[in-house]
A and B are shown apart, each in its own frame.
Chain A
Amino acid sequence: MPDAPGLELIAKELNDAAEGSVLGTYHEHGEACLIADPDRILDILRWLRDTPSQEYRFLSSLHGVDYLPAKPRFGVVYELLNMPRVERLRVRAAIDDPGGEELPELDSCVELFPGAEFHEREVYDFFGIVFRGHPDMRRILMPEEYVGWPQRRDFPLGGEPVIFTRDEPAMPRWYE
């Protein structure tokens, strides 16, 4: 786990290697996070993977977040792991919602970490974030004909409304 100065060092080196790709850093609860420019996410991940002093060679998880109503709305979080040193580093790419029917897009990191294939499909399935260059961009858990992105915050919860006894006084004649 890089400590706060170590994280700043990584950010500085990264910014030297790939100009302006790191937008910010934060270090909370002993966890280090780089906030990445979504257009240059592949440069960052490649640098972190291949630079001899870093060698974060294992992508332990990739997930999506919906920060509605914050802007930018979506986040894709990469959890990197250096196995020999047991050091973890988080990289977060914040993407804006293009609005309307359009889906937010991000570069796929399958060429760097083949294990990301199913993770990216899952993020696509639940948040509707399209990964450019993914070999097989379809839904993975929901049925293929499903409409909507169920883990987005503005997606209705679903199910059926149930009246409990304690709610009955608040809704007289609910059964009609």
Chain B
Amino acid sequence: MKREKLRAHAPLDEPKPVTDLRVRQIRARDLLRGDLEGPDLEQHVEESVLTTTMHKALGWGRANSIFPATFGLACCAIEMMSIVSPRYDIARFGAENLRASPRQADLLILSGRVSIKMAPVCRRIYDQMLEPKWVMAMGACSSSGGMFANYAVVQGADKFMPVDIHVPGCPPRPEAVVYGFNKLQRMILGNPDPGWRKRYNGAGTEEWAREATGEASPEEIAAYEAARDLAATHESSRSQASRGGRA
């Protein structure tokens, strides 16, 4: 009797979005029993199933459950530690779980200067991490050597391991680390922020592709063009998406 009343509230021949939770529950029960048929069934499926690509689903899962490694190098580590505190609360982005083993970690935060004695250790920890894995160079020292232009410190961590994101600062505030982390999440989702490449129209002009002397090699030219094409496709897809969203 009650159900009849509720059904009267949601006429079957008009497929408009069902907002009443009780109605949705009753429909779901009908579906399981096999009673739901016709446009009713179609509407129910349309409203409750989401389609996506495997890549996007994986990226979504990975980006929102990154486990950073518990690994501090120097003074930046103090700032890194506070990102899990309630004030900065990186748990909002699913990364509050700092793993004590590189085997369980996805993200290595190089928080501080890397001395030449520590570089093999960092590299080893990176090698021990399971794929997929990401590296954040936090602060000036691990990005470029910082103020330690001397015999004991490696001038930038990307000399011995691939770095996905650099966070500037000396040391960066925890907000900056969280911001860099959000950029990393966007990168994992397949939607990287082109940053300075967009601002200065500089996609494909990265310095590693430029040879100081002589002609560029065919590989370098290919890398150039690939980077430029990638940036162009990203740009067009983004602008299309934003236009579609507004319309």
Contact residues of A with B, CB < 8 Å? 141-143, 146, 148, 150, 155-160, 162, 176
Minimum Cβ distance to chain B for residue A151 (Å): 9
Minimum Cβ distance to chain B for residue A147 (Å): 11
18 A-B residue pairs with CB within 8 Å: A141-B117, A142-B116, A142-B117, A143-B116, A143-B117, A150-B151, A156-B151, A157-B150, A157-B151, A158-B149, A158-B150, A158-B151, A158-B152, A159-B145, A159-B150, A159-B151, A159-B153, A159-B155
In the bound assembly, the distance between CA atoms of A158 and B154 in angstroms comes to: 10
Encode contact with A along B2-46: 1 for CB under 8 Å, 0 otherwise.
000000000000000000000000000000000000000000000
- Is B224 in the interface zone, CB < 8 Å from A? no
Encode contact with A along B95-118: 1 for CB under 8 Å, 0 otherwise.
000000000000000000000110
Residue of A nearest to B155 (CB): A160
Which residues of A lie under 8 Å from residue B117 when comparing CB positions?
141-143
In the bound assembly, the distance between CA atoms of A156 and B116 in angstroms comes to: 16
In the bound assembly, the distance between CA atoms of A176 and B212 in angstroms comes to: 7
Residue of B nearest to A161 (CB): B149
In-complex Cβ contact of B149 among A142, A148, A150, A157 (8 A): A157
Minimum Cβ distance to chain B for residue A137 (Å): 19
Which residues of A lie under 8 Å from residue B153 when comparing CB positions?
159
Which residues of A lie under 8 Å from residue B151 when comparing CB positions?
148, 150, 155-159
Is chain A's binding surface mostly helix, strand, loop or mixed? Answer: loop
In the bound assembly, the distance between CA atoms of A162 and B148 in angstroms comes to: 12
Asked if residues B149 and A159 are in contact (CB atoms below 8 Å), the reply is yes
Contact residues of B with A, CB < 8 Å? 116-117, 145, 148-153, 155, 212
In the bound assembly, the distance between CA atoms of A142 and B151 in angstroms comes to: 10
Asked if residues A160 and B145 are in contact (CB atoms below 8 Å), the reply is yes
Which residues of B lie under 8 Å from residue A142 when comparing CB positions?
116-117, 152
Which residues of A lie under 8 Å from residue B212 when comparing CB positions?
176
Residue of B nearest to A175 (CB): B212
In the bound assembly, the distance between CA atoms of A158 and B115 in angstroms comes to: 13
Asked if residues B155 and A150 are in contact (CB atoms below 8 Å), the reply is no
Residue of B nearest to A160 (CB): B155
In the bound assembly, the distance between CA atoms of A24 and B152 in angstroms comes to: 37
Which residues of B lie under 8 Å from residue A143 when comparing CB positions?
116-117
Residue of A nearest to B151 (CB): A158
In-complex Cβ contact of A162 among B116, B149, B150, B152 (8 A): B149
In the bound assembly, the distance between CA atoms of A141 and B148 in angstroms comes to: 17
Minimum Cβ distance to chain A for residue B114 (Å): 13
Query: Considering the complex of A and B, which 9 residue pairs feature the smallest CB-CB distances, nearest first?
Result: A159-B149, A158-B151, A150-B151, A160-B155, A158-B150, A143-B117, A159-B150, A159-B155, A157-B150
Minimum Cβ distance to chain A for residue B86 (Å): 39
Which residues of B lie under 8 Å from residue A148 when comparing CB positions?
151
Which residues of B lie under 8 Å from residue A155 when comparing CB positions?
151
Asked if residues B148 and A159 are in contact (CB atoms below 8 Å), the reply is yes
Minimum Cβ distance to chain A for residue B167 (Å): 20
In the bound assembly, the distance between CA atoms of A66 and B231 in angstroms comes to: 54
Which residues of B lie under 8 Å from residue A159 when comparing CB positions?
145, 148-151, 153, 155
Minimum Cβ distance to chain B for residue A146 (Å): 8
Residue of B nearest to A158 (CB): B151
Minimum Cβ distance to chain A for residue B162 (Å): 19
Minimum Cβ distance to chain A for residue B142 (Å): 14
Minimum Cβ distance to chain A for residue B46 (Å): 58
Which residues of A lie under 8 Å from residue B145 when comparing CB positions?
159-160
Residue of B nearest to A176 (CB): B212
In the bound assembly, the distance between CA atoms of A157 and B116 in angstroms comes to: 14
In the bound assembly, the distance between CA atoms of A159 and B116 in angstroms comes to: 12
Which residues of A lie under 8 Å from residue B155 when comparing CB positions?
159-160
In the bound assembly, the distance between CA atoms of A176 and B213 in angstroms comes to: 8
Minimum Cβ distance to chain A for residue B108 (Å): 21
Question: Given known contacts A159-B148, A160-B155, what 11 new A-B pairs fall within 8 Å (CB)?
Answer: A142-B116, A146-B116, A156-B151, A157-B149, A157-B150, A157-B151, A158-B149, A158-B150, A159-B149, A162-B149, A176-B212
